[in-house]
Chains A and B, each alone.
Chain A
Amino acid sequence: MVSNAAAISDSELTAEVEAWLDEHWDDKNRREKGTDHLDLKSWLGKLVDAGYSVPTWSQDWFGRGYSGKQARLIDDILKSRNVVGRSQDRYNLGAVTVYRLGSEQLKSELLRDMLTGSQSCLLYSEPNAGSDLAGVRTKAEWTAGPDGGEYVINGQKVWTSNAKEATYGMLLARTDWDVPKHGGISFFIFPMKQDGVDIRPINQITGESEFNEIFIENARAPARNIVGELNGGWKVLQTALAYERLIMGEGATERRGKQKSSVPPLVELAKKHGKIDDPVIRQKIAQATAYRQLNSLNMKRAKDEIVKNGSSSLMSLGKLAMSRIQHYEAQVAAEILGPASLFDGEEFKDSADMNFDSAKAYMNSIGGGSDQIQRNIISERILGLPREIEVDRNMPFRDVKSG
């Protein structure tokens, strides 16, 4: 039975969720009760139909119309019981975008599939459109056909994680070249599993390959897969990006939660390498720990404000703050290790970890909008400062210089 958000008390909700899980979920083996392995699609279907995967969404679309606070209550229970598929209304970027901004037709066609295991990836950045994302040059050309016709897509995308696994790509493509850059972009849900989509992994400075380049040649997307208006893709993107930044900023508190001891890892490292009594190192460890602690306190305040007022400007500070935290922690770790920082590999695990972390820190400070873009956003949206003048803002896109 689906309970009414206002009517149900927190304790009733807790009891209901716990009882449902007792019946359906095997905590220990992390699978559906009565099965011998986790059938993800089947399990997610159950969780989605119960309304526990996207509790803040409306009852028409797999949700329960619950408040953020009630959703967090459910999330806490699911998390504590190792349940797969919790809080997709916060973490499933593709589904959130379609739910918030897609047409009714698109929602009925895609939402359930997206919530039950079909993954999505981001097709935003291009080699010549990074921070200046409105400068995308991937071309989408309409051709006639049944059901509104379709678009033929040509271009190159970059920094796409999860591309091989994804069924859907959230694609930003240019549909009008004769208007200024922001006004000629459309946002597509693009089928990834088709001819003309070539996925090539990127070798990153960390030694990992999480990201890919995507070469798109004469691939297709149905016209009905446009999210929002034709040529209204920029607005859709802003909403999608806001969700992405929210998730990245929250990473801070989530990661901290995993830490077993309350003693900072840098203290352990300094002890191990005989630097714990070095007063200069101690100052730096304290400062690095403070940066992380202060960000956690800010994020806690943000969450309290969201519960109380529905929103918080503090939330958007998290990602920028995280850049300083990660770069500084890696720097202090290097200073603790001293000349041994030059080593790497299995034999020098601490050095290898530090070297990895110092490269990985750029993931936060460049990815998902660089620190410089974050500072623009904070100063414009929170502080109300004017935008920097952009020379190409009102020019037809085909006349804009690129390179």
Chain B
Amino acid sequence: MNEISTEDRIAMRQSFARLLEDQAGDQALRETMASPHGFDENLWKAMAEMGLLGLIIDSEYGGVGGDAQLLEDLMEEAGAHLLCSPFISTAVLAASLISASSDESLKAELLSSICDGTKIFAIAATDESGLWTDQGISIRGSKNGDIWTLEGTASFVLHAEKADQLLVFAHTDEGTRVFLVDSKTEAVEVQKLQTNDPALRLSKVIFSAANAQPIAGVDVTAIGTAIDLAKVAQAGEQAGGAKKIFDITVEYLRTRYQFGRQIGSFQALKHIAADMLIEVESAASAARHAAKMMATGSPEAKTFVSLAAFACADAYRDVSAQAIQLHGGIAYTWEHPAHLYWRRARTGLWLFGSSDQHREEYLTCLEAA
């Protein structure tokens, strides 16, 4: 990883924020959500130009060479602006998995196509159980001569419809492996799933003797690291989203008058706001600390990634839910943004594992310490 100065990090976050304000404000965001593929290709290109898609990719492959801390920092901004994009599947999960490969020519080809925004990757990591663990893989990879084929079903696949290629987790006689699969073949059937969060694009993907290329050198450890990085990215997104909807809510408590006074003067409401602040700040602390532990290769990284995974998901759920309640009727309308944060928060409760799973993993890590 390259050394990135604090100044560069701040500058990068600021220009990302400006980009999102300019190109992904409320109206643009709603258009993107309603679009068939759920992301804005112009914004994606602009993100590529800013180096965001190669954030965690080594500079030798055209990336920025940033670490988990830089990723978390920028994801707070993405969360605050409700970014809709295949960022986590392409620029985090795929980037991390491919970077772990020992196949240099494959890395050179694929990583540069992530950096410049020309290819979108979807990750088929879990089956319909939605576990995101090795037990949650029900795709079987088998080898006939030099040819690998995949059989089985994956679900909760992010942005599969638009993806150029799929990275598929499969069980094989050699253990769990990751395969590269062309998504536009007959042997791969992508079924779009309707979702509660209009920003979310999920599919079920069925592989029927689909030809697949194993990615050399990517094992369960690399898979674990990639998923952990995705958890940190999502934790940052949740911390940023929780902070933003909280700020919007506090501003409303200050400016809305009922009974001749600002509603924020009622203890019934301001006490809820005080409790929400603890959640908002705890989420930021948890996400940032997990990122730092990952970036520094701490032996406690797994502990703190698990903590951030449930603490941030739960905080976002609670803060965004209370935000609607504190706003009252205005937030019961589709036009108001509160429900978009609330839906996004509910999404995050299940991607990359549930809060109950993360709590169990957190305790297991503590017991082993």
Instruction: Assess whether B220 is interfacial by the CB under 8 Å rule.
Output: no
CB pair B285–A376 under 8 Å, yes or no, is no
| A386 partner, pick from B262, B277, B369, beta carbons under 8 A | B262
Beyond A297-B286, A385-B270, A386-B262, is A289–B363 a contact (Cβ under 8 Å)?
yes
Closest to A382 in B: B277
| A383 partner, pick from B266, B270, B362, B369, beta carbons under 8 A | B270
- B273 to chain A: which residues have CB within 8 Å? 379, 383, 385
CB pair A383–B250 under 8 Å, yes or no, is yes
Among A261-269, A335-343, A357-365, the stretch that binds chain B is: A261-269
A375 to B275, CA, bound (A): 7
Beyond A385-B265, A389-B261, is A286–B360 a contact (Cβ under 8 Å)?
yes
- A294 to chain B: which residues have CB within 8 Å? 282, 285-286, 307, 311
A384 to B289, CA, bound (A): 28
Per-residue interface assignment for chain A, residues 169 to 194, with 1 indicating a CB less than 8 Å from any chain B CB and 0 otherwise: 00000000000000000000000000
| A301 partner, pick from B265, B285, B311, B356, beta carbons under 8 A | B285
A-B contact count (CB 8 A): 110
CB pair A264–B281 under 8 Å, yes or no, is no
Q: Is chain B's interface secondary structure helix, strand, loop, or mixed overall?
A: helix
A287 to B254, CA, bound (A): 33
Q: For chain A, give the interface size range.
A: 35 or more
**Residue with the greatest number of chain B CB neighbours at <10 A, chosen from A279, A283, A286:** A286
Among A219-227, A239-247, A314-322, the stretch that binds chain B is: A314-322
Q: How far apart are B366's CB and chain A's nearest CB, in angstroms? A: 6
Q: How far apart are B104's CB and chain A's nearest CB, in angstroms? A: 40
- A205 to chain B: which residues have CB within 8 Å? none
CB pair B265–A386 under 8 Å, yes or no, is yes
Number of residues from B at the complex interface, CB < 8 A? 34
Per-residue interface assignment for chain A, residues 289 to 322, with 1 indicating a CB less than 8 Å from any chain B CB and 0 otherwise: 1100111011011000000000000100100110
CB pair B277–A383 under 8 Å, yes or no, is yes
CB pair B254–A384 under 8 Å, yes or no, is yes
- A286 to chain B: which residues have CB within 8 Å? 359-360, 362-363, 366
CB pair B278–A379 under 8 Å, yes or no, is no
Beyond A283-B356, A290-B359, is A375–B270 a contact (Cβ under 8 Å)?
yes
Contacts A/B (CB < 8 Å), 11 sampled: A290-B307, A293-B307, A298-B285, A376-B270, A376-B274, A383-B270, A383-B277, A385-B262, A386-B265, A388-B266, A388-B267
Q: 4 closest A-B pairs (Cβ-Cβ)?
A: A379-B270, A385-B264, A297-B285, A375-B274
